[in-house]
Amino acid sequence: MEAEPESGPGPEFNSKEEAFAFYQAHAKSVGFSAIIKASRRSRISGNFIDAKFACTRYGAPPSHKPKRAPSRAKTDCKASMHVKRTPHGTWIISSFIKHHNHQISPIHSSPNPNNNVNNKASPSRKLKVKKIPQYLTFAQGDLQFLLNAFMSMQNENPNFFFAVDLNEEQRLRSVFWVDAKARLDYRHFSDVVLLDTTHVKNECRLPFVPFVGVNHHLQFLLLGLAFVSDGSESTYAWLMRNWLRAMGGLAPKVMLTDRDEVLKRAVAQVVPESCHCFCLWHVLGKVPEKLGRRIHGHGGEFMSGLSECVLRSRTKEQFEKRWGEMVERFDMGDESWLCEIYEDRKQWVPAFMNGRVLAGMSTVQRSEAMNCLFDKYVQRKTTMKEFLEQYRVVSRGKCEEEAKADFETLRRQPALKSPSPFGKQMVELYTNAVFKKFQGEVLGAVACHPRKESEDGAMKMFKVQDFEDNQDFVVTWNESTSEASCSCYSFEFNGYLCRHVMIVLQISGVHSIPPRYILKRWTKDAKKRDLSVADVVVSDSRAERYNNLCQRAFELGDEGSLSYETYIASVKALEEALRKCENLDGSIQRVREPNLPCFGSQETPFP
């Protein structure tokens, strides 16, 4: 007998992913495994508009003897849930088939003392739809500890910022905070920011979301942190809006995230002016999971073809041609996931980067290093108190690491290992950490053999044979505009020129790195601002003037603490400024205004 679909009032979801999480929770409670059977996009907007989730045994049984275990074999089970996107952007259940044509058992669900392994799920049993709690759960005392910690940090520095989000029942749904040091760092390193949602997807007890940047010493910057109750579009939009408010409304040039439809919509909603890029290695790392069965018979041929297409295509046209050939060769035209990442190609394929610089934030090594950093103090059983205590320890440690790197960069330069004019030029400009990376490229140039392929006026094209990597790369050089490009995309990924471009510059008679390829963010002057008194905008509000002075004083403290000499100079400058203000106070009539707030004007009080 054919199962009849059930429909009617039910929960609404903020996203397709949230709806699937609901169906998975139902599957666990009943005793079966769930999969995403199908999904469909709008031909006009390109957004998902409906999806079907089903039991893993959905579908016709094979005609031959199955290789998989009997418990996973197809039985033509019809149990499924169909969801559709409403005009308002939420998702509703359009049909629900609860009956299975095979045995199901609670052993598939999470351990529960109320579950009896011998109980059989009855087909006539009523489905009880229970909405997943949309709020953070804390151990006893955690919430008060959180409040006390934030008030303490705000008392230490008025530029500490935090915000909270409550649901209709006044339960804490999300909390975000960023310290004064991070707000200052962002003013200097706002070009690339990574929003890391790894710990939300891994279902940690504390779903932790950091905003991550990198400074001029190649060190990680924690540019804001949050605990969130879910991974919905509304939650991420709330988080990004408050982070943007804390950063003075300055959107990053590049916002880097994992490839995720929910994040894609949230970023477009809050920071449409930012270039939203997906981590290249996150996309490629999903291939075995998404296409494992389809590419199993091809050995490593498919991955080689994909890498050639993605990593070695010098132009958009070349990528399009290679992608089409790859899809046709491996008969992948009907593979939905492959179609999806192709549609998103402008957000992760190097050939479409158009001058965007990721400052090393999209490399495999950096991704692994970030995970190691956070895993030190984010584990499944970590409590709120343990996390915040460790966060403060880590924050202090990172400040000390940066101060040490600043001091070492000012004290001595790295030794030059070659007579290259490029090395002599950049050792004066780059910080020690960046120069050591750059010098590796300078030394690697000797293993490169360039050969001119074509010339059209000022534009020249070279094929560079790299004997160390055992690969060929294509370099273009325009003498009139001093523009260069390389198919290795080193500048786009790392922010400094590669060995292939440098060997071409050398044989072209160019003996210094063009200014356009020297990013201030990697130099010793990365945190120095070119600001004259004429550029200072004076506000009529005393509160705004107060906040601005606090920011500048923090900058002075950051620089003045580097050494004994800078400390003495800073103290003397402050004393002199204070004396001048006191003298002016005696000659200028004070403007009567309301008392200053206890904290910075942008801070959101904890309810």
DSSP sequence for 481-516? TTEEEETT-HHHHHSS--HHHHHHHHHTT--S--GG
Q: Are 255 and 195 in contact (CB under 8 A)?
A: yes
Q: Which helix (H) or strand (E) holds 465?
A: strand 459-466
User: Among candidates 303, 267, 295, which has minimal Cα distance to 194?
Assistant: 267
Instruction: Supply the pLDDT for residue 112.
Output: 38
Taking only the tens place, the pLDDT of each residue in 54-102 is 988 887 776 655 544 444 567 888 889 898 888 777 788 888 888 888 8
Extended beta strands in 290-373, E state: none
397 falls within a domain: no
Tell the residue number behind the tokens 């909270």, with chain if given.
164
181 falls within a domain: no
Instruction: Supply the pLDDT for residue 585.
Output: 62
Instruction: Supply the pLDDT for residue 202.
Output: 63
Q: Are 281 and 367 in contact (CB under 8 A)?
A: yes
Last residue of a domain, one of 292, 321, 347: 347
Secondary structure letter of residue 318 according to DSSP = H
Instruction: Supply the pLDDT for residue 183.
Output: 92
Q: How far apart are CA 268 and CA 289, in angstroms?
A: 27
Last residue of a domain, one of 299, 322, 347: 347
Instruction: Supply the pLDDT for residue 380.
Output: 58
Instruction: Supply the pLDDT for residue 126.
Output: 39
394 falls within a domain: no
Instruction: Supply the pLDDT for residue 244.
Output: 95
Q: How far apart are CA 405 and CA 399, in angstroms?
A: 10
The DSSP bridge partners found for residue 560 are none
Strand-strand pairing, 275-278 and 254-257: parallel
Q: Which two tokens stand for residue 520?
A: 């201030």
Instruction: Classify the phi-psi angles of 430: left when phi > 0, otherwise alpha if psi is within -120 to 50, otherwise beta.
Output: beta
Secondary structure letter of residue 61 according to DSSP = P
This model's pTM is above 0.75: no
Q: Are residues 515 and 426 in the same domain?
A: yes
Q: Are 355 and 319 in contact (CB under 8 A)?
A: no
Task: Look up the domain containing 318 and give its range.
Answer: 280-347
Last residue of a domain, one of 347, 381, 405: 347
Instruction: Supply the pLDDT for residue 376.
Output: 58
Instruction: Supply the pLDDT for residue 13.
Output: 73
Instruction: Supply the pLDDT for residue 135.
Output: 54
320 falls within a domain: yes
211 falls within a domain: no
Q: Which two tokens stand for residue 176?
A: 């975000």
Q: How far apart are CA 586 and CA 320, in angstroms?
A: 72
Amino acid at 394: V
Instruction: Supply the pLDDT for residue 110.
Output: 36
Taking only the tens place, the pLDDT of each residue in 532-567 is 444 455 656 666 677 677 767 777 776 777 677 778
* Number of domain units in the chain: 3
473 falls within a domain: yes
33 falls within a domain: yes
Q: Are residues 425 and 336 in the same domain?
A: no
Instruction: Supply the pLDDT for residue 587.
Output: 56
Instruction: Supply the pLDDT for residue 379.
Output: 60
3-state secondary structure of 116: coil
69 falls within a domain: yes
pLDDT below 70 — which residues of the chain?
A: 1-12, 29-30, 42-46, 62-73, 105-141, 201-206, 299, 363-382, 530-544, 547, 551, 558, 562, 585-607
